C-alpha cells in the first residue's frame, strides 16, 4: 500500500472488476475481513491485501457450512464455486473450519444476522491442565472478557464482525477463553485476513473467535476451561494496530459480543 491508496483505486489499478450487483471494492472489502469492511476503512502504507484471482469474494469458513450454504449466502451458482480450480473441493457437503473458498460472481454480500432478543446460557465445564490468564465477573450468559483494554471498534454497520479490543498499551497481552469449550480451529496465515486466530465451540450454539494473535497456545481438538490461555495479542493479518478482534457466533450467525459480555 502507498499513501492515499483506496480499495476502489487498487481495484482499478489491478484491473479487478465487480459485476452488476457487487462492486469491485465491495468484493475486496469482504475478501479482507475483519479489519476492512468498507471503502472508507483506513489503508496504511505497506499494508497487504488479498485480491481474488478472478471476480469474486474470498470466504473464510468459520463454522459448519456446506457449498450449498455459500451458494445461497452469496446468491451464486454452486457449479461455479466447484469449478474454481483453487477451491479444490473434495466434499460438497462439508467444508473445514479455516478453509478459504473463492466465491465467483456473487450477486450479494454476506450479511450477519441481528442479535437475538435474549441471551442463552453458554456451555460450561472443562478438564485438563490449564493456565488461567484472566478471571473476572461472568455475564448472565456465562462469558467473561478475554482480555482487558478499551474497545477501539464496536459491533455495528461499519464493523459487522464483532469488536476490537485495543492492546496498544499491552502488546502481546495474554488472551483467555471467554467460556469453556473445545478449540475447533487454531491456525491461519500471519500475512492475511484474521492472521493467527482461534475458534472455540462452547456448546448450545455458541462459538467465539479470537484474531490477530502473535502466538497461539492451543491446538484444534483441545478442551479449554474458562479463562485458559489461548494465545498472545498481536497484529498478524489485516490489522492496523495491536489489538484483539473478538467475535461471538450463535447458531451460525454473528451477534454483538457486548450482548453476552459482562
Quick one: cell of 206? 455458541
Which of the listed ranges 31-40, 117-126, 214-223, 233-242 does the model predict with the highest average pLDDT? 214-223
- The pLDDT tens digits of the residues spanning 69-95 come to 899 999 999 999 999 988 988 777 778
Is the confidence at residue 52, as pLDDT, over 80?
yes
- The pLDDT tens digits of the residues spanning 175-199 come to 999 999 999 999 998 888 899 999 9
Q: Which of 142, 138, 215, 141 is nearest to 175 (CA)?
A: 215
Quick one: cell of 32? 479482507
- The pLDDT tens digits of the residues spanning 148-157 come to 999 999 998 7
The residues with which 187 forms a beta bridge, in sequence order, are 197
Q: How many whole angstroms separate alpha carbon 163 and alpha carbon 178?
A: 14
Asked if 163 and 155 touch (Cβ cutoff 8 Å), the reply is yes
Q: Under 8 Å CB-to-CB from 89, ≥6 apart: which residues? A: 67, 81, 82
- Give, as one character, the DSSP assignment of residue 259: G
- List alpha helices for the chain, DSSP H: 7-14, 24-31, 67-74, 78-83
- Which domains are assigned to the chain? 7-104 (3.10.350.10), 151-259 (2.70.70.10)
Across the range 141-168, mean pLDDT stands at 91
Q: How many whole angstroms separate alpha carbon 152 and alpha carbon 150?
A: 6
What are the φ and ψ backbone dihedral angles of 28, each rounded to 5 degrees? -65, -40
- List alpha helices for 62-123, DSSP H: 67-74, 78-83
End-to-end Cα spacing for the chain: 39
Is the confidence at residue 125, as pLDDT, over 50?
no
Amino acid at each position: 500500500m502507498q499513501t492515499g491508496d483506496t480499495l476502489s483505486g487498487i481495484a482499478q489499478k489491478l484491473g479487478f472488476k465487480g459485476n452488476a450487483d457487487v462492486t469491485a471494492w465491495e468484493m475486496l472489502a469482504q475478501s479482507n475481513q475483519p479489519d476492512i469492511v468498507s471503502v472508507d476503512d483506513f489503508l496504511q502504507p505497506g499494508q497487504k491485501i488479498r485480491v481474488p484471482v478472478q471476480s469474486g469474494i474470498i470466504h473464510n469458513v468459520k463454522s459448519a457450512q456446506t457449498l450449498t450454504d455459500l451458494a445461497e449466502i452469496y446468491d451464486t451458482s454452486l457449479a461455479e464455486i466447484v469449478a474454481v480450480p483453487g477451491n479444490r473441493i473434495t466434499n460438497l457437503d462439508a467444508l473445514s473450519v479455516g478453509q478459504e473458498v473463492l466465491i465467483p460472481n456473487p450477486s450479494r454480500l454476506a450479511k450477519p444476522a441481528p442479535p437475538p432478543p435474549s441471551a442463552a446460557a453458554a456451555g460450561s465445564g472443562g478438564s485438563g491442565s490449564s493456565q488461567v490468564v484472566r478471571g473476572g465477573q461472568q455475564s448472565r450468559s456465562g462469558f467473561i472478557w478475554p482480555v482487558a483494554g478499551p474497545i477501539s471498534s464496536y459491533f455495528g454497520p461499519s464493523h459487522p464482525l464483532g469488536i476490537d479490543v485495543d492492546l496498544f498499551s499491552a502488546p502481546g497481552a495474554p488472551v483467555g477463553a471467554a467460556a469453556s469449550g473445545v478449540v475447533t480451529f487454531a491456525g491461519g496465515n500471519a500475512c492475511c485476513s484474521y492472521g493467527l486466530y482461534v475458534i472455540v465451540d462452547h456448546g448450545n450454539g455458541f462459538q467465539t473467535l479470537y484474531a490477530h494473535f502473535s502466538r497461539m497456545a492451543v491446538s484444534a481438538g483441545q478442551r479449554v476451561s474458562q479463562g485458559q490461555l489461548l494465545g498472545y495479542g498481536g497484529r498478524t493479518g489485516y490489522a492496523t494496530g495491536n489489538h484483539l478482534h473478538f467475535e461471538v457466533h450463535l447458531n451460525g450467525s454473528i451477534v454483538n459480543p457486548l450482548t453476552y459480555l459482562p
